[in-house]
């Protein structure tokens, strides 16, 4: 059989393991497949559904002591198939304590600041990040406010960044020092605000670039699992080791090529299914499976090396 015939046979395994795509496919034995074909064949045989992917791959990476592969700040609890499915379109790094460690694809949607008086009244800027510096609450913006030649104080409000117009924080006192020529605004004397109010304010306000690298990560469209987009799926990228943090699983058996392929293809073709645990993974429609056959190997991206 020709190489192309072997490749087609490997893809036909998504229909039925050793046949179902014509007479030629029924005659092919595993030993006759190319290296890439064997990777695809193993994935199709062992991991035909999301349930199998969880049982044979994801669950294996979780220790019996509560999950050594889990970290509440970085990695979801994946002990059950339902938890795996619940990761679809869910945010990632939501409880990371150090903003510098938040991965771009996991950054939250930026809230916006609107000035409500003075020469720049009505102007809106996206909030990149905010921090307490001594007695000041410093808000870093995506761009300076325009129309003012010298710093002035303004009342302001902070809105959710989803376009709904819903207000997060509305301060009608002129206490925000607008720096005009810099992408920064400051509330001086913030330490005088009672501690409970400080905690409430800081807990509600969200910048879109908390790690400070200039990228508003929500624009990338990332999440724990993004149907149709393995590159923006934090779960897969963390297991591949392409993003900040220790490559997972940390203390258990790493994935082999067929298992990586199963995870790739589940995510890539997820947008075309109902997302159920028993829904077949569409290896025939998976471009990563086709790439494996073309290259005769699974090509993985470079592992993150910091900083």
Three-state helix/strand/coil letters over the chain: CCHHHHHHHHHHCCCCCCCCCCHHHHCCCHHHCCHHHHHHHHHHHHCCEHHHHHHHHHHHHCCCCCCCCCECCCECCCCCHHHHHHCECCCCCCCCCCHHHCCHHHCCCCCEEEECCCCCCCCEEEEEEEEEECCEEEEEECCCCCCCCCCEEEEEEEECCCCCCCEEEEEEEEEEEECCCCCEEEEECHHHCCHHHHHHHHHHCCCCCCCCCCCCHHHHCCECECCCCHHHEHHHHHHHCCCCCCCCCCCCCCCCHHHHHHHHHHHHHHHHCCCCCCCECCCCCCHHHHHHHHHCCCCCCCCCCCC
Average pLDDT over residues 216-228: 96
Q: For residue 219, give the nearest of 232, 238, 206 by alpha carbon.
A: 232
What is the domain partition of the chain in residue ranges?
1-104+218-307, 112-204
**Residues sharing a CB contact under 8 Å with residue 162, sequence separation 6 or more, in sequence order:** 109
Task: Give tens-digit pLDDT for 99-132.
Answer: 999 999 999 999 999 999 988 899 999 999 999 9
Give Cα separations from 250 to 11, 71, 146, 193, 240 (angstroms).
32, 11, 49, 43, 12
Task: Give tens-digit pLDDT for 251-261.
Answer: 677 899 999 99
pLDDT at 29: 53
Enter the pTM of the model: 0.83
To the nearest whole number, what is the mean pLDDT of the chain?
Answer: 84
Task: Give tens-digit pLDDT for 137-190.
Answer: 999 999 999 888 788 899 999 999 999 999 999 998 889 999 888 999 999 998
- Percent of the residues in the chain that have a pLDDT greater than 90, as a whole number: 54
């Amino acid at each position: 059989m020709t190489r192309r015939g072997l490749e087609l046979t490997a893809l036909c395994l998504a229909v039925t393991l050793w046949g179902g795509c014509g007479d030629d496919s029924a005659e092919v034995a595993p030993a006759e497949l190319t290296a890439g074909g064997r990777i695809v064949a193993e994935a199709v045989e062992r991991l035909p559904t999301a349930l199998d992917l969880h049982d044979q791959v994801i669950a294996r990476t979780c220790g019996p002591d509560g999950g050594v592969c889990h970290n509440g700040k970085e990695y979801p609890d994946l002990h059950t198939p339902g938890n795996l499915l619940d990761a679809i379109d869910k945010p990632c790094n939501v409880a990371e304590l150090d903003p510098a460690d938040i991965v771009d694809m996991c950054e939250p949607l930026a809230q916006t600041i609107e000035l409500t008086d003075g020469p720049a009244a009505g102007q809106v800027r996206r909030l990149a990040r905010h921090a307490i510096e001594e007695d000041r609450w410093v808000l870093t913006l995506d761009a300076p406010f325009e129309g003012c030649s010298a710093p002035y104080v303004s009342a302001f409000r902070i809105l959710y960044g989803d376009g709904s117009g819903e207000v997060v924080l509305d301060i009608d006192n002129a206490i925000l020092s607008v720096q005009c020529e810099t992408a920064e605004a400051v509330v001086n004397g913030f330490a005088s605000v009672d501690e409970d109010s400080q905690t409430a304010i800081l807990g509600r306000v969200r910048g879109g670039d908390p790690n400070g690298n200039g990228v508003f990560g929500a624009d990338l469209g990332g999440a724990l699992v993004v149907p149709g987009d393995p590159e923006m799926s934090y779960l897969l990228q963390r297991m591949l080791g392409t993003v900040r943090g220790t490559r997972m699983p940390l203390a258990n058996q790493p994935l082999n090529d067929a298992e990586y392929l199963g995870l790739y293809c589940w995510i890539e073709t997820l947008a075309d299914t109902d997302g159920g645990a028993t829904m077949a993974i569409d290896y025939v429609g998976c471009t990563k499976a086709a790439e494996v056959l073309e290259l005769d190997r699974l090509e993985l991206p470079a592992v993150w090396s910091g900083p």
